[in-house]
């Protein structure tokens, strides 16, 4: 089952998603809170991993489509962090949207649908989300969907080296209602 909202479809990835996703990943504004933009080969490898995860588990980071237009605008969904931290193992909710899709409430709407899927379909007891401290847009989405932040949970992302400006991350949590 793929989550659907009033305006959005969270769906499996298609070949035609690769080009607009590569453009999104090459946009410095979209990737401001990530270590680097992604090349087309890096984006294709990422999509391949997402497709494989969906095939194995039936869920993951879904391609995000505006229902009215059929336009691909990014991704939203659930993932398992691949690094050790004080809060892992865990399932996180995440999103990445094209700049043209910002400011329409799409990230919050899609994240609520993904969280609902995690609680209702997967039976999760809790879901986390995390980002670099300065990513105020994503932090606002986390708060809008009801997640809470305890500064004691903040952490240094283990994939980023000491001194990296994005190393410090905030962790938000949401418990099953």
* List of E strands, the chain: 8-11, 61-66, 71-79, 92-97, 126-132, 148-149, 155-156, 168-175
**pLDDT per residue over 114-163, tens digit each?**
999 999 999 999 999 999 999 999 999 999 999 999 999 999 999 999 99
Domains present along the chain, CATH in parentheses: 8-175 (3.40.630.30)
The pLDDT of residue 73:
98
Pairing type for strands 168-175 and 126-132 reads antiparallel
Predicted pLDDT at 177? 86
| pTM of structure | 0.95
Tell me: the pLDDT tens digits for 76-87?
A: 999 999 999 999
Report CA Rg, the chain: 15
Please state, in angstroms and rounded to a whole number, the distance separating the CA atoms of residues 29 and 137: 12
Whether residue 74 contacts residue 98, with contact meaning beta carbons closer than 8 Å, is answered with yes
pLDDT higher than threshold 80 for residue 1: no
Per-residue confidence (pLDDT) for residue 33, from 0 to 100:
96
CB-based contact 32:90 (threshold 8 Å):
no
């Amino acid at each position: 089952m793929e989550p659907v909202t009033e305006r959005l479809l969270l769906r499996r990835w298609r070949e035609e998603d690769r080009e607009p996703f590569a453009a999104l990943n090459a946009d410095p504004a979209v990737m401001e809170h990530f270590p680097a933009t992604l090349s087309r080969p890096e984006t294709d490898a990422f999509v391949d991993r997402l497709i494989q995860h969906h095939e194995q588990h039936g869920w993951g980071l879904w391609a995000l489509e505006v229902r009215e237009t059929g336009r691909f605008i990014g991704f939203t969904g659930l993932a398992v962090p691949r690094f050790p931290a004080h809060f892992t193992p865990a399932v996180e909710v995440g999103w990445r949207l094209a700049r043209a899709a910002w400011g329409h409430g799409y990230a919050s709407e899609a994240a609520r649908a993904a969280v609902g899927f995690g609680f209702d379909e997967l039976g999760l007891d809790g879901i986390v989300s995390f980002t670099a401290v300065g990513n105020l847009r994503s932090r606002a989405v986390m708060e809008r969907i009801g997640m809470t932040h305890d500064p004691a949970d903040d952490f240094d992302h283990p994939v980023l080296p000491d001194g990296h400006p994005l190393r410090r991350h905030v962790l938000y949590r949401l418990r099953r209602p």
